[in-house]
Structure 1
Amino acid sequence: MIIIFIASLILFAFLYMVSRNKYDEFIEPLDEKEFKIKKIMPIGFWVMDKINYRYASKYDRNLLNKTAELNGGVYAHYYLRVHWANKITFELMLLMFLLFINGAMGKTDMELIIFSLLVMAVVAYALDKDLENKVSKRRLSMQIDFPDFLNTLTLLINAGMTVSGAWTRIVTDTKKSTPLYSELRNVMLEISNGKSEIGAYEEFAKRCRLPEVTKFVAVITQNLKKGNSELVDILKYQSKECWELRKHAAKRLGEEASSKALFPMMLMFFAVVLVVVTPAIAGLIGSV
């Protein structure tokens, strides 16, 4: 097994040498805080290219939907490739480590091999789960911010401003850089670059993928197409609904925070029990 480990180490070094200068344009834009192994990720890109992977399976389409939601449709395929490269590189590094553990034990143990395969499967699942968690956090953040935006927009429209004018006013006056406000700025950028209002709003709804945003966009696009004297009343009603959804989202955040705090509290409880019980057990053993 040690020989296999050394061979795998040489193979890993070879993969890095043949790939390190070929994917600079893919690696450079990535955030090193998000992609911890950014510098050796060319290995993953090279492997995927050599096996001529098509990124066309049902699994890939599911991943593509997530990357499109997080990074926009234009960059969705790029981040799909990044996700795969990151995963492949992680798996190869993990494989080397597991081979080293097997080699250190001096023998091939079937149980250890099965355990190693399970660890690799768990890591692959965890990387996909992390992507899914990012999507969930993004949606939750947008769900919390949207009622404020909709309420302000409704007030400005009621004061006589157009939808685009009110939208621009909110984006200009707000310094937030949360997912929702980033998307709101993208809408105004698209319109200023010549895209139709209706098209920009519809793309906004597709990127957000929230039912309340889709419903809101349907109302304002209908107003732009045919006019609607009751637009403000409808938006006021939707604003109330969104505030209720925000309350539920805040409650869910509180429940998640409570569940995260449960584990440290259990550790503290066991530590206290240990401190209390240890002297008693020591005294009992001493008396015996």
Structure 2
Amino acid sequence: MLIASLAVLLVFMILLLSSKNKYREYTEPLDKEEYKLKDLLCVGLFIMDKIKYSYNTEYDRKVLDKISELKGPKYSVYYLQIYWANKITLMFILLILFLFVGVSQEEITTEYLFFGVFVLALVVFVSYRELDKKVKERRLSIQIDFPDFLNQLVLLISAGMTVSRAWERIVEQSEKDTVLYDELRIVLADIRAGKSEINAFEDFAKRCRIPEITRFSSIIIQNINKGSSDIVPMLLRQASECWEMRKHAARRIGEEASSKLLFPMMLMFAAVLLIVATPAVIAIMGSM
């Protein structure tokens, strides 16, 4: 087992040293906070390149769809490659740890082998679940911020501003660094770069992928095409509905936070109970 452990570690180090310079620029844009294994991802990228992986399975398409929503379609393929590289590198590291822990045991049991296989398989499942969690958090963040933005937009349009001018004013005056306001800035940048307003709003809806934004974009596009005078009442109705949705979203966040606190509270209760009960138990045992 020791020889196998050292052999796998040696292979990992050889792959790391031989691929580090090759993929340095490729991994440079990645955020170290988000990708903890950034400096080791070259190993995963090297392996995926050597096996000539096509990134075209049904699973890849599902992952790509979620990555497109999180990172945007322009760099989605790049982040799909990083997703796989991160997964392969993590599995490699876990395999090395698994082998070295096995060295400390007198013998490798069947249960230990099954546990190792289970942990490696868990990496595949957890990485996808983490991606799914990020998508849900992104959508929830948009739903939380959208009613406030919509109210501001309605007020400015009612005051005589055009949609694009009101949009520009809200974005320029806001200091919020949230998902929705990042998307609003992208729309403004697209329009300033020469993209038509209709295409900019359509792309906005495609990136956000929530019903509220899709409906809102449809109202704005309809106003651009037909010059509808009913835009303010329509947006007011949607704003009212969105505030109700925001209340439900806030309630859901509160419920999730409460459920997350439940387990630590149970542990604290058990610890307090143990501290209080231990002297009594010792006293009873001593009197017997």
Residue 136 of structure 1 corresponds to 136
Structure 2 stretches lacking a partner, 5+ long = none
> Which residues of 2 match residues 246-265 of structure 1 at below 5 A?
246-265=246-265
Amino acid at match of 1:206: K
Q: Note if 1:157 corresponds to 2:137.
A: no
Structure 1 stretches lacking a partner, 5+ long = none
Residue 12 of structure 1 corresponds to 12
> Which residues of 2 match residues 45-64 of structure 1 at below 5 A?
45-64=45-64
CA distance in 2, matches of 1:112, 1:187: 53
Amino acid at match of 1:135: V
- Say which SS state the counterpart of residue 105 (structure 1) adopts: coil
- Say which SS state the counterpart of residue 41 (structure 1) adopts: helix
Give the CA deviation at 1:241: 0.5
CA distance in 1, matches of 2:26, 2:133: 24
| Residues 114-164 of structure 1: per-residue CA shift (max 9 Å, x gap) | 010101111222222222211111111111000011111111111111111
CA distance in 2, matches of 1:117, 1:11: 20
Residue 31 of structure 2 corresponds to 31
CA distance in 1, matches of 2:61, 2:217: 26
Query: Moved runs in structure 1, 4+ residues, more than 2 A?
Result: none
Q: Note if 1:168 corresponds to 2:190.
A: no
Q: Note if 1:199 corresponds to 2:175.
A: no
| Residues 197-256 of structure 1: per-residue CA shift (max 9 Å, x gap) | 000000000100111000000111011112212111000000001000100110011111
Distance 1:108 1:268, change over 3 A: closer
Give the CA deviation at 1:193: 0.6
Task: Tell me, yes or no, if the aligned pair for 1:2 and 1:104 is still in contact at 8 Å.
Answer: no
> Which residues of 2 match residues 107-126 of structure 1 at below 5 A?
107-126=107-126
CA distance in 2, matches of 1:251, 1:75: 34
Cα RMSD between the aligned structures? 1.0
CA distance in 2, matches of 1:126, 1:37: 16
Amino acid at match of 2:236: K
Q: Note if 1:2 corresponds to 2:2.
A: yes
Aligned residues: 288
Give the CA deviation at 1:108: 2.7
Identity of aligned residues (%): 53
CA distance in 2, matches of 1:274, 1:106: 35
Residue 283 of structure 2 corresponds to 283
Amino acid at match of 2:4: I
Give the CA deviation at 1:67: 1.0
Q: Note if 1:266 corresponds to 2:230.
A: no
Amino acid at match of 2:264: P
| Residues 45-72 of structure 1: per-residue CA shift (max 9 Å, x gap) | 0011111111111111111111111111
Q: Note if 1:184 corresponds to 2:184.
A: yes
Task: Tell me, yes or no, if the aligned pair for 1:67 and 1:80 is still in contact at 8 Å.
Answer: yes
CA distance in 2, matches of 1:11, 1:265: 45
- Say which SS state the counterpart of residue 21 (structure 1) adopts: coil
CA distance in 2, matches of 1:10, 1:215: 56
CA distance in 1, matches of 2:248, 2:163: 28
Residue 74 of structure 2 corresponds to 74
Task: Tell me, yes or no, if the aligned pair for 1:44 and 1:86 is still in contact at 8 Å.
Answer: yes
Residue 65 of structure 1 corresponds to 65
Task: Tell me, yes or no, if the aligned pair for 1:37 and 1:86 is still in contact at 8 Å.
Answer: yes
